[in-house]
């Protein structure tokens, strides 16, 4: 896995929604790359901050459907 790959999938990694192989590849890369590890830590802190401030609001159904389709397409591409 390359640094560009990490940038594209870090959010899915944090959610645990990558396939097992991709999750392991990214973990391995982060353990070897200090810059990507730093990026992951920043994203973790940012994610925790946003979640603590926003609470659990429901997205409109149209937005949820669009996001679901996009995530499924992304997962299909990365699960190979």
Average pLDDT of adjacent 10-residue blocks, the chain of 80 residues: 87 86 92 94 91 81 91 79
- In this predicted structure, what is the pLDDT of residue 37? 95
Structure tokens at 12: 């899915």
Residue holding tokens 């994203």? 43
Half-sphere exposure of residue 39: CA atoms within 13 angstroms, side-chain side? 20
- In this predicted structure, what is the pLDDT of residue 65? 92
Residues ≥6 apart with Cβ < 8 Å to 69: none
Specify the number of domains making up the chain: 1
pTM: 0.62
């Amino acid at each position: 896995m390359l640094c560009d790959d990490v940038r594209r999938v870090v959010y899915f990694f944090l959610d645990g929604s990558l396939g097992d192989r991709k999750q392991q590849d990214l973990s391995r890369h982060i353990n070897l790359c200090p810059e990507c590890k730093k990026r992951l830590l920043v994203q973790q802190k940012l994610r925790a901050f946003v979640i603590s401030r926003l609470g659990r609001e429901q997205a409109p159904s149209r937005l949820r459907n669009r996001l679901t389709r996009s995530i499924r397409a992304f997962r299909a591409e990365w699960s190979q």
